[in-house]
Structure 1
């Protein structure tokens, strides 16, 4: 459900009336029944909320939204559109419950609605966001976030994914955090993550440069020579179909023409600007390196429009669609779904 003060509950309530959501999976909500009922009242329609005790009890229909109560906090009266410590703590409770269900193989995948980092902190949670919570709960240290847009997206027949070597850090810190080991790890994660989405074949991975003109032979910076190119060479030697470093001003033109399935970007905006420009409402976050399948909407809590009946549903529906594709693709490849 995400942060109850944001648009998450409203997005769920509005999306429930769209047949694609239920056609893709057998969904249920992990959150607060009282909040879900308020969200239904906000968007209108004749659906009701069915409180369930376990996933197996979920019987979703156009008029019934199964909801697993996942917090002991009373969040029914949390003010809308504002940071609230109860909303932050409850959002944490929701995602922990969902992760545990996936680790227990009681659900095939988890799709998350947005939480607010400031609300998390106010609620006593030290993790800055979903990715860090997921990594700790799943016990993994090698992980990454992929921003993905599926076909048709002006991104080739298989869509396009972008994995970031660095993410939510100040731009000045990118140079210090950029290591060959980190780049190589992200290349391998991108290669493995895309395979269930592209029929099992090897992924075609492009690696972006850091400096203008890919450093112009060291004139504009030597990170490409010292760090990026050697990491690409090691990944190539390990059997990955990877190319780079490629200058940023041509990188995405080539990727969007269908030459690559994935791009490894050096920092947040290098990847986000391109993908959100071509399809902000269809972008999906996928967490890589986990023993479970997790997707997420690519937008935030949008406090400014929360609970005003204006929230769009396309990113949620696409997130569920991509999760279902990953699960199906992994099964076809004989790969496990859920924790081992």
Structure 2
């Protein structure tokens, strides 16, 4: 019974955590955190007026956030309509500042998107197909790697690979292809860190590419950063000094073909940089919280997105190093270097033809 009770208690905590992320989704989408951070403490009526929401909803959200410890209340004994709530300064990077590497409020958005697919996912599990693609709205699409790329890709990760860093700084100016570039922040980060390079990002998502083009224009980079709605197979062969595949390879239905195409895009002495989820070398059970986290997203998003193609490798989010090495070798690469650094979330691989 001890194990039974422990599991029951665990699922209760899991439910509370899921509900908390849902509350974070509301705070992010309605601008409630941003109002508390930018306009200061507020009563429920003041917050409702600032953000144009209903006062009773605002009061319930503020009380829930306070009892959860995400925000603070000045006087717990004050009448409900009089209580003033504030967002601690230490919580601003996590809940408000999208430029900070600690920003996590996007997780509420991602959870909402994932849960919306569950009825379709039940059917997909039965048929083996992929569920229908999800539109960006109403939840929006979280740019969850934006701050990480802008703060670390060009400032820490690429400089940590001496041969790549040297080529990106050298003349003639290097050319970079960013495969599965999403909304473009990886391409932009490379261009900002290396002022002479040109970067060409490709992605199959029209909405993502439209957003990428806007982002490049806002940062004054359209002369060196271009984007196209395309897959890598249609890109110029033998033209690029570096091809990046950043947190995308495990999502691809045919990773060997993608890597083979990336290899063909390389100029002499070029290489491919793959950044993907950091996972253990081998399957263990039970595993670390990080491994559990990756498997959770694999069940709901990464694996389903690659299903439906009869030729799919059906990798899922947990792509172990030996599996990636096998893909690279089959694609014609002679060497797969597991780079001697990682982050809590990502592992780094340099593929050499």
Give the TM-score category using the shorter length: under 0.3
- Bigger CA radius of gyration: 2
Task: Point out which structure has higher relative CO (alpha carbons under 8 A, 6+ apart).
Answer: 1
